[in-house]
């Protein structure tokens, strides 16, 4: 085998190896992409729950209607809690971009306080409905209502646990690159829940009372 053949083979191997490596991606690219895919799958879950409520929301089985059981002033206060929590999370992201670890933690805890208030009001609403005999077993309308709103509440609760974990991580490790990526993923999750709740407030509560 000649030297020219050896050199040609080496160059070919290098080209093949370079192709096999694939394009370079910035650190955390796969994490953010994977989280977007998760949010899309979560959107499908909520879409199915909205569709179920759309089909069953008018089946009262001679039981209470939305106008009978929904307290719009209370729901409006609850909506405000979640909207405020999205604003305060935005302040946390701004503090992160300013490399201010303490201020980031402070705004995360304010966000958690608003989120906890939201969950508490929702639990109070559920407890009141069940005490009045308007539990999920009463009618198809109430079953679909508890399924949709309850699933959203579980997501908010999961977000509160995530915020608590992030506060601990920030205290231990500060604003390292991994924590910044996690905060961005949590931001997408929290704002996603805000958007879903606006749909719940409009489609379930407002339109339900207007029927």
pLDDT tens-place string over residues 105-127: 999 999 999 999 999 999 999 99
Reference 188, options 77, 30, 78, 33; nearest CA is: 33
Segment-wise mean pLDDT, segments of 10 residues, the chain, 211 residues:
46 44 54 89 96 95 93 96 98 97 98 98 97 95 97 98 98 96 96 97 93 75
Task: Give the CB-side neighbour count of residue 182, counting CA atoms within 13 A.
Answer: 18
Task: Give per-residue pLDDT as tens, 141-161.
Answer: 999 999 999 999 999 999 999
pLDDT at residue 210, rounded to an integer = 86
Say how far apart CA 113 and CA 109 lie, in whole Å. 6
Contact 28, 177 (CB under 8 A): yes
The CATH code that applies to domain 27-210 is 1.20.120.80
CB 70 within 8 A of CB 126: no
Closest residue by Cα to residue 142 from 134, 151, 150: 134
């Amino acid at each position: 085998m000649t030297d020219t053949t050896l050199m040609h083979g080496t160059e070919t191997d290098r080209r093949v190896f370079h192709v096999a490596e694939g394009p370079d991606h910035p650190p955390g690219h796969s994490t953010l992409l994977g989280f977007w895919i998760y949010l899309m799958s979560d959107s499908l879950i909520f879409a199915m729950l909205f569709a179920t409520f759309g089909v069953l929301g008018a089946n009262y089985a001679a039981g209470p209607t939305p106008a009978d059981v929904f307290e719009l002033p209370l729901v409006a206060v609850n909506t405000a809690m979640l909207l405020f929590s999205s604003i305060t999370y935005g302040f946390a992201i701004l503090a992160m971009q300013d490399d201010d670890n303490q201020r980031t933690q402070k705004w995360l805890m304010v966000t958690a306080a608003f989120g906890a208030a939201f969950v508490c009001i929702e639990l109070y609403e559920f407890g009141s409905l069940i005490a009045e005999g308007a539990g999920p077993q009463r009618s198809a309308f109430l079953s679909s209502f508890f399924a949709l709103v309850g699933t959203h509440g579980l997501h908010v609760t999961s977000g509160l646990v995530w915020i608590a974990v992030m506060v601990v991580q920030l205290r231990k490790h500060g604003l390292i690159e991994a924590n910044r990526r996690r905060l961005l993923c949590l931001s997408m999750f929290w704002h996603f829940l805000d958007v879903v709740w606006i749909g719940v407030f409009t489609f379930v509560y407002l339109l339900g009372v207007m029927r």
